[in-house]
Amino acid sequence: MTTASIATIESLEHEGRGVARVDGKAIFIEGALPRETVEYSSYRKRERFEQAGTVRVIRASAQRAVPGCKYYGVCGGCSMQHAELGLQVATKQRVLEDALRHIARVQADCIYPAIYGPAWGYRYRARIGVRVVPNKGGVLIGFHEKKSSYIADIDSCAVLPRHVSDLLPYLHELIAGMSVPDRIPQIELAVGDDRTVIVLRNLTPLTSADIHLLQVFGAQHRVSMWQQPGNPETARPVRSDEPAFLEYSLPEFDIRLKFRPTDFTQVNVHTNRLLIRRAMQLLDPQPGERIADLFCGLGNFTLPIARCGAKVVGVEGSAELVQRARDNAADNGLAKLCEFKVANLFEASTASLNKLGRLDKMLVDPPRDGAMAVIRALDEHAPKRIVYVSCNPATLARDAAILFHEKGYIMKGAGVANMFPQTSHVESIALFERA
């Protein structure tokens, strides 16, 4: 049996765990906050560090918060609920600055004010696991348990919109009543401005009785029910008269974007709008300029750039998303200012970037792997201003090091956007300029 020990917490690390030092060893303690004294129990011990959980808070921080979800500590998501929102954001800002300092050896000239959105009910997209476990009551629906591949069975979720969270108990009943509950491993939720879509990933064909159940469920709860028998492109509504697309709006730019429920979009529509505003302020698109939007997706940043009057070329690896972006540009009256290309930006070269033509500015919004190939491919013809939107401080810092030490750019500013409140995920934005 592991005995509990006592320590005083010095700081929070990048995953939101409290850091203490005991006899020269770093102890990473889940559920502990800076300046707290806690009793902890270690579950993993190594020569230079230990991982532990909080057993009891002896002296609490003034920034400790009451978790807003009853599944906190069981469900593996939202691990920072015990910290006030201000402390969460300050921790993310420090994680970003530490990555830039230690990985890139770069310091931003300016730290931007953090971008905040709603703290709860913000998650407009989610993938929820489904398992059939007879000795645990049958159908389980939820996210993974903490430090486990098992499903934490939930009947509510505080980060989902209330009307979606309220559906979870009924989804249990729906799946349990279908012919193949053990062949539906996942539910995907997508909320648009006008409606909500629920996609069931079915590994075997659904029966006519299953389809009828889904149709009745959709009518009763005013949601659109879809099935997905294969890859994301196979997803389709169970009622043939339902629209194939949802929409989300960017009111500040008078833009509406269509998307399929399985398309990649930002999960937090409120913070996304604020992030776009910040990106446009930093990029400052002007009529007559030509700007590249790399990893453009379905046009989330491309169309606001065009609305500001600049010509923009969007590049994305998915042909389907590129077509969606073209259609969105046309629907918003921006087709003449936008062009789109399909290309694998992870294999970008100087030659491929130069084929895009003259570029005055560039916006880069890569996935977690970052944009190293793009950054390395920049030459003397590269744009003088680059706005970099990142979902991974480590790869942003890696690419910032190349921009600063090899390409002659200065980091004019950087800051975080709290895209995923209650979690340790860090979204950030940075501005680079070359003289």
- Asked if 307 contacts 253 with a C-beta cutoff of 8 angstroms, the reply is yes
Flag whether 247 is marked binding.
Answer: no
Is 296 in the active site? no
d(CA 30, CA 50): 11
Flag whether 166 is marked binding.
Answer: no
Flag whether 365 is marked binding.
Answer: yes
Residue 209 sits at the vertex; the CA angle it makes with 204 and 211, to the nearest 5 degrees, is: 65
Going by C-beta distance under 8 Å and a sequence separation of 6 or more, which residues neighbour residue 420? 267, 268, 427
* Helices 168-176 and 208-221, packing angle to 10 deg: 160
Flag whether 316 is marked binding.
Answer: yes
| Ramachandran class of 297: left when φ > 0, alpha when ψ lies in -120 to 50, beta otherwise | left
Q: Which of 414, 309, 334, 385 is nearest to 99 (CA)?
A: 414
Going by C-beta distance under 8 Å and a sequence separation of 6 or more, which residues neighbour residue 429? 112, 275, 278, 279, 282, 387, 388, 389, 390, 414, 415, 417
Flag whether 110 is marked binding.
Answer: no
Q: Are strands 311-316 and 338-342 parallel, antiparallel or unpaired?
A: parallel
Flag whether 300 is marked binding.
Answer: yes
Q: Given the residues 296, 308, 338, 391, select the one marked as catalytic.
A: 391
Tokens of 273: 């709008």
Backbone angles phi, psi at 169, to 5 degrees: -60, -35
Flag whether 308 is marked binding.
Answer: no
Flag whether 420 is marked binding.
Answer: no
d(CA 312, CA 37): 54
Flag whether 78 is marked binding.
Answer: yes
Residues with active-site annotation: 391
Residues forming the annotated binding site?
69, 75, 78, 157, 266, 295, 300, 316, 344, 365
Residues forming the annotated binding site for S-adenosyl-L-methionine?
266, 295, 300, 316, 344, 365
Residues forming the annotated binding site for [4Fe-4S] cluster?
69, 75, 78, 157
